[in-house]
Structure 1
Amino acid sequence: MTQPELDITAAEFPQPETMQDLIHVLRRFGVNIAYWGEGEAKSEDQLLREIQEGESVFRETTAGELMRDVQGVGVDVFYYDPQTGSVYRLREDRQVFKDGRTRSRSHIPESLSEKRKPAETPLEAAERAVREELQIEGELNFRHLGQRLHTRPSVSYPGLNTRHNVDIFGTMISPQQYRSEGYTENRDGLTSYFVWEQFSQDSQKAV
């Protein structure tokens, strides 16, 4: 997919500071928020929080379209079972909103995905993602596996195109950090469920 060219920097584009500012910008660019907060979509309150925390930034393309810009990381989490010789990969199975809505996360290519905070390096964001989302303590080693840049309509915010610049990492956790039942994270009105799947019989094929 062709990446829309950006004609102004984030610093030159005034970022919304209040809900009134956000609604004004969205209406100005014709973004319909009627169905936000329904189905798999997040709410305008959640988007405003992302902008205020610097995790999402608004930009404008040369075509005059509003673009949400996200700097993020993806982390593949592996576990090697010494008894069977099998390697398992963690995947995010689903998210459940506090009102009971559920959205599948099977389309997420890595185990974890996380937005980078301002002034945070990709490696710092990767480690934070593992520790916060999985509540894992102890030593972690990461391998940088590459970078992915793509632009697509947002599932979280329908009608708003989003450009993702993602650094990809991999990590192999220890037996002490491994939980066979998987992991659960509660944050911002969402409960995320992570489960294990067999990846390979050969640990050399993992990280």
Structure 2
Amino acid sequence: MTVDVKKLEHALPVHAYGKDKAKSFRQLLNEIATGETQIIWQENRPIRLLSIVVVKVHCRDKTLVEDRQVFPDGRVRYRGIEGLSEKLHPQEEHSKGVYRALQEELGFSADELQGISIQFLGREWEKKESLSYPGLESHYDTYTYEVHIPDTLYKPEYTELCEEGMHSYFTWK
């Protein structure tokens, strides 16, 4: 999907992007280009549409938490979010997105995930202003799953190298 970049720039407070806890405008454009995010217009306001999977990961009676994200410029965004959260690719089945999240965010191989059962917990829709993109109302279509990983995959901390040099750190609680 193509987007009118100039129109989007004028509709958003892009001066706030890439500062504090916000991602850059370039990261938003990348999400649009890859199809992870769609922009629609309502009453001359951009609305961000995206589908995500949330994966609640358990091991050794503990729950995985996204502790923080570190931007390439050194800014830290503390999260404290339970589980993994991954944007779905266009036409990607949400159950496939669960396995992709486990591979991309925790570094598990497809072989390591053989035999792991995932449980679908539900689906919900939510509208809110994005913390990543100030001034941009976002509509989330969220599929929530739960997975118990074996002790052999346990590490005290996991690190994911995300888009454009950003790092996410996961710990247990």
Higher helix share: 2
What is the CA distance between 1:22 and its match in structure 2?
Answer: 1.6
C-alpha displacement at 1:64, in angstroms?
3.7
Correspondent of 1:43 among 7, 24, 27 = 24
Residue 76 (1) aligns with residue 52 (2)? no
Say which one has the larger Rg.
1
Instruction: Give the aligned partner of residue 100 of structure 1.
Output: 74
Question: What runs of 5+ residues in structure 1 fail to find an aligned partner?
Answer: 1-13, 81-86, 198-207
Give the distance between the partners of 2:25 and 2:6, measured in 1 at CA. Answer: 8
Q: Within the alignment, does 1:88 sit opposite 2:62 as a pair?
A: yes
Partner Cα distance (2:130, 2:5) in 1 = 17
Instruction: Report the number of matched residues.
Output: 168
- Tell me if the contact between 1:70 and 1:115 (Cα under 8 Å) persists in the aligned partners: yes
Structure 2 spans left out of the alignment, 5+ residues: none
- CA distance in 1 between counterparts of 2:153 and 2:128 reads 35
Alignment RMSD:
1.3
The reply on whether 1:34 has 2:34 as its aligned counterpart is no
Would you say 1:167 and 2:143 are equivalent positions?
yes
Partner of 2:159: 184
Shift of 1:35: 1.2
Q: Contact between 1:74 and 1:114, CA under 8 Å: does it hold in 2?
A: yes
Q: Please identify runs of 4+ aligned residues in structure 1 that moved more than 4 A.
A: none
What is the identity, as a one-letter code, of the residue corresponding to 2:57?
Answer: V
> 3-state SS of the aligned residue for 2:50?
strand
Q: Secondary structure at the match of 1:50?
A: helix
Identity %: 35
Aligned to 1:15: 2
Q: What is the distance in 2 between the residues matched to 1:26 and 1:59? A: 14
